[in-house]
């Protein structure tokens, strides 16, 4: 009788250990997958002396939504950012609104409220809103004409605190 009880206890302990190991492995895999970085590309084009348009594309690679909080200028230090161009839909139609350098204060960073949908390709659930575009204006002194600049995107996701992603923007050649 005692051998039977011992084998039952051993079987229960083994099953519990295997269940905990499977749960831990699943948790570790999800945690590793949740750290998937977004794919960010950036370019800028010269509009006129000292004015540039910055175009950033972001693709969310994580299986949950990603909120982009802020866009910051890193280098060159003399650069100033203006609010991104936004598309506004009203009953009268669609309009683009943006800041203007003569009326709005330019800064080194601009707040964004930009949400990208999840991309969980393991289950085949890729949101149509998992990719997006950000457009901003960049102002530099006329004597400065860079071929690349560095910006920082601050994002918040389910993986925890704000994440900062530095991106080098390349200048588009107009031919």
CA atoms within 13 A on the CB side of 11: 6
Q: What is the mean pLDDT of residues 83-101?
A: 67
pLDDT digits (tens, 9 = 90+) for 74-85: 888 888 888 766
Question: Do the beta carbons of residue 41 and residue 54 sit within 8 Å?
Answer: no
Q: What is the mean pLDDT of residues 39-60?
A: 88
More confident residue, 15 or 121: 15
pTM, two decimals, is: 0.65
Instruction: Assess whether 159 and 118 both reside in one domain.
Output: yes
Instruction: Assess whether 66 and 93 both reside in one domain.
Output: yes
Instruction: Assess whether 55 and 23 both reside in one domain.
Output: no
Instruction: Assess whether 139 and 160 both reside in one domain.
Output: yes
Instruction: Assess whether 98 and 163 both reside in one domain.
Output: yes
Q: What is the mean pLDDT of residues 130-150?
A: 82
Q: What is the mean pLDDT of the chain?
A: 78
Residue 143: the pLDDT is 78
**pLDDT grade for 158, boundaries at 50, 70 and 90:** low
Instruction: Assess whether 123 and 149 both reside in one domain.
Output: yes
Q: What is the mean pLDDT of residues 35-47?
A: 85
Residue 175: the pLDDT is 45
The number of distinct structural domains making up the chain is 2
Please tell me what DSSP assigns to residue 20: H
Instruction: Assess whether 89 and 133 both reside in one domain.
Output: yes
User: In this prediction, what percent of the chain has a pLDDT beyond 70?
Assistant: 74
Domain, as residue range, for 114: 37-171
Instruction: Assess whether 29 and 93 both reside in one domain.
Output: no
Q: What is the DSSP string of 38-75?
A: PEEEEEEEEEETTEEEEEEEEE--SSS-EEEEEEEEEE
CATH code of the domain containing 144: 2.60.40.10
Question: Do the beta carbons of residue 46 and residue 67 sit within 8 Å?
Answer: no
* Alpha-carbon 17 to chain mean position: 38
Instruction: Assess whether 68 and 122 both reside in one domain.
Output: yes
Instruction: Assess whether 48 and 130 both reside in one domain.
Output: yes
User: Radius of gyration of the chain from Cα atoms?
Assistant: 24
Instruction: Assess whether 28 and 49 both reside in one domain.
Output: no
Copy the structure tokens of residue 103: 């009326």
CA pair distance 38, 109, nearest whole angstrom: 20
Instruction: Assess whether 162 and 90 both reside in one domain.
Output: yes
């Amino acid at each position: 009788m005692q051998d039977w009880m011992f084998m039952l206890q051993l079987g229960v302990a083994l099953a519990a250990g295997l269940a905990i190991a499977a749960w831990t492995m699943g948790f570790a895999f999800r945690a590793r997958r949740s750290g998937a970085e977004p794919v960010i590309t950036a370019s800028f084009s010269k509009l006129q002396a000292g004015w540039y348009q910055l175009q950033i594309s972001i693709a969310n690679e994580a299986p949950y939504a990603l909120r982009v909080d802020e866009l910051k200028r890193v280098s060159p230090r003399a650069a100033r950012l203006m609010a991104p161009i936004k598309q506004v839909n009203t009953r009268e139609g669609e309009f683009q609104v943006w800041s203007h350098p003569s009326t709005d204060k330019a800064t080194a960073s601009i707040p964004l409220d930009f949400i990208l949908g999840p991309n969980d390709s393991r289950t085949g659930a890729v949101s149509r809103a998992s990719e997006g575009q950000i457009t901003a204006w960049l102002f530099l002194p006329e004597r400065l004409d860079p071929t690349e600049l560095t910006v920082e995107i601050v994002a918040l996701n389910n993986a925890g605190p704000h994440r900062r992603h530095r991106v080098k923007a390349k200048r588009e050649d107009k031919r």
